[in-house]
Amino acid sequence: MNRVGTRGLSLNEKLLFEHSRPGRCGYDLPPLDVPSAEPPEALVRDDIPGFPELSEIDVARHFTRLSSWNYGVDSGFYPLGSCTMKYNPKVNEVACRLPGFADLHPHTPQKLAQGALALMYELQEDLKEISGFDGITLQPGAGAHGELAGMLMVRAWQQARGAQRNKVLIPDTAHGTNPATAALCGYEVVPVPSENGVVTVETIEGLMDDGVAALMITNPNTLGLFETYIADVCRVVHERGGLVYCDGANLNALLGIARPGDMGIDVMHFNLHKTFSTPHGGGGPGAGPVGVSAELEPFLPVPVVDRTAEGYFLDWDRPHSIGRMKGFYGHFGVLVRAWTYIRAMGAEGLRRTAEMAVLNANYVRARLESSYHLPYVARSLHEVVFSDRNLGGGCKTLDLAKRLIDYGFHPPTIYFPLVVSGAIMIEPTESESQETLDEFCEAMEAIAREASEDPGLLKDAPRLTRLGRLDETRAARRPRLRWQP
């Protein structure tokens, strides 16, 4: 295997304090020709021992090297599972940096911001068409924020009916943010066991009672499986007075093929920064618009973009609204990127996106199912979950992940979902070529052989990085964020 541009991730850089040399200076000014003035005492700091003394070139090279260490979708394959990390076309960046968008002040009068309002209105309409929902809010600033907005609307709807419900059903294949959101909204979380990886009608019938406000489900779920009985599950929840919330993080698998609103789902958040190809994670901010059915539409956050014959406007006159979820109107730059992506792809392109995402996931599955244990036999959608059961030499999922770094790949999601012991979750997305997937699979196959023949290679990995196996628990719980001499 001979990957382009990588031979492991070998990174090394001293701290600025370690680069320091006494007397070195980053500026050169001519001698004073006026009397010197001492700065006010309040502005003089003496609490940083060993403050670094550096030349300009020391500083420039230090930060230039650090800037190249940010592993991301622009620098290599990012096979995270359940957290779509696909390539962001650069035309999206060009569009959101157009002066008319980038320089628009948030306090600009509406009559002078008709272009921006038109874009937001059109994005709302596009998301309605894609998802099958009746109303959209663009405000939430991330997926989890969208979850919060959605569940607040569920609570408002239940309260408006006079219902006193205090429980939310959450399958064991759901995303981890779902129970956190339900608890934040004051609900007791009731776990729902899956059968063969999906939620069954019989299970929901057994759990639904007058205390259940909603079911929060992810579809496709975190095993990469379509919830086969979703329509009947929604029917049962509705018949017992509940609503169905869908985590839309995996919408990438359904684009142009199926619509959550048509399945009976009442409310769902979109991850614009995943499905619609805008910066993600550290490259954010993201955006988490929420789609709702007609009966939840009165509870949407204010304002909502609407239009009349005179033009576009922000509608604040919504007496049943849950209120405002974010300052101004959301992360506008992300909305521009998503609008650009949707318009560039078109209906046919969005469907092709889902088809290629599913095809790539199943290609990885077919390549690796003879080397790794596959806990669920049902066909995958956008992602595939293996386990470490068949790894030889006593090696575990964490050892595999660390060894992948030596091969130049970012590790996939590991130990999630929790229903799979030693889970290895891979979502290649539609962005990756067959050549990239082949290189990744060859690395995975090589590591599986190493586990049986020389397990020390995995247990000592990574070997090609400046630092080896770190104590991750200690690093997370006792971080050292400040240099000490």
- Sequence ranges of the domains in the chain: 16-69, 91-345, 354-473
Q: Per-residue confidence at 80, pLDDT binned at 50, 70, 90? A: confident
SS3 content of the chain, % helix, strand, coil (to 5): 40, 10, 50
pTM of the predicted model, to two decimals? 0.89
Rounded Cα distance between 215 and 292, Å, is 15
**Mean pLDDT lowest among 39-48, 96-105, 341-350, 430-439:** 39-48
Q: Residues 86-94: what's their mean pLDDT?
A: 93
Q: Per-residue confidence at 198, pLDDT binned at 50, 70, 90? A: very high
Q: Is the dihedral of CA 220, 226, 232, 236 positive or negative?
A: negative
| pLDDT at site 11 | 62
Architecture of the domain made up of 354-473: Alpha-Beta Complex (3.90)
Residue 85's Cβ-count burial label (10 Å; 0-12, 13-18, 19+) is buried
Q: Is the dihedral of CA 77, 81, 85, 86 positive or negative?
A: positive
Buried b (16+ CB within 10 A) or exposed e, 366-381: ebbeebbebbbeeebb
- CB-hemisphere CA count at 13 Å for 385? 25
For the segment 33-61, what is each residue's pLDDT rounded down to a tens digit?
Answer: 999 888 898 888 877 777 899 999 999 99
Helices 434-453 and 332-368: crossing angle in degrees, nearest 10, is 50
Whole-number mean pLDDT of the chain? 92
| pLDDT at site 9 | 58
Strands 423-426 and 384-387: antiparallel
Q: Per-residue confidence at 356, pLDDT binned at 50, 70, 90? A: very high
In which residue are the tokens 């957290």 written?
Answer: 83
Residue 366 has pLDDT above 80, yes or no: yes
DSSP for 219-279, please give it: SS-TTS---TTHHHHHHHHHHTT-EEEEEETTGGGTTTT--GGGGT--EEEE-HHHHT---
For the segment 224-252, what is each residue's pLDDT rounded down to a tens digit?
Answer: 999 999 999 999 999 999 999 999 999 99
| pLDDT at site 465 | 84
45 to each of 19, 21, 49, 51, 480, how far by Cα in Å?
21, 20, 10, 10, 22
Amino acid at 150: G
**Residue % of the chain over a pLDDT of 70:** 97
For the segment 289-329, what is each residue's pLDDT rounded down to a tens digit?
Answer: 999 999 999 999 999 999 999 999 999 999 999 999 998 88
Q: Are 151 and 181 in contact (CB under 8 A)?
A: yes
Please state which CATH number belongs to domain 91-345: 3.40.640.10
CA nearest neighbour of 147 among 272, 290, 302, 293: 290
Rounded Cα distance between 52 and 59, Å, is 10
For the segment 161-171, what is each residue's pLDDT rounded down to a tens digit?
Answer: 999 999 999 99
| pLDDT at site 65 | 87
Rounded Cα distance between 94 and 87, Å, is 15
Rounded Cα distance between 115 and 118, Å, is 5
Q: Per-residue confidence at 72, pLDDT binned at 50, 70, 90? A: confident
Q: What is the CA radius of gyration of the chain?
A: 26
| pLDDT at site 75 | 86
Higher pLDDT, 484 or 474: 474
CA nearest neighbour of 341 among 50, 130, 83: 130
Q: Are 377 and 225 in contact (CB under 8 A)?
A: no
Q: Per-residue confidence at 346, pLDDT binned at 50, 70, 90? A: very high
Rounded Cα distance between 396 and 462, Å, is 14
User: Terminus-to-terminus CA distance in the chain, angstroms?
Assistant: 43
| pLDDT at site 1 | 59
Q: Which two tokens stand for residue 453?
A: 């023949």
Beta bridge partners of 387: 373, 423
If DSSP codes are grouped into helix, strand and coil, which group holds residue 67?
A: helix
Buried b (16+ CB within 10 A) or exposed e, 296-325: bbbbbbbbbbeeeeeebbeeeebeebbeeb
If DSSP codes are grouped into helix, strand and coil, which group holds residue 391?
A: coil
> What element of type H or E holds 167?
strand 167-171
For the segment 248-302, what is each residue's pLDDT rounded down to a tens digit?
Answer: 999 999 999 999 999 999 999 999 988 998 877 554 578 999 999 999 999 999 9
Rounded Cα distance between 219 and 74, Å, is 28
Angle among Cα 163, 164, 167 to the nearest 5 degrees reads 115
Q: Per-residue confidence at 377, pLDDT binned at 50, 70, 90? A: confident
Q: Per-residue confidence at 2, pLDDT binned at 50, 70, 90? A: low
Q: Are 407 and 75 in contact (CB under 8 A)?
A: no
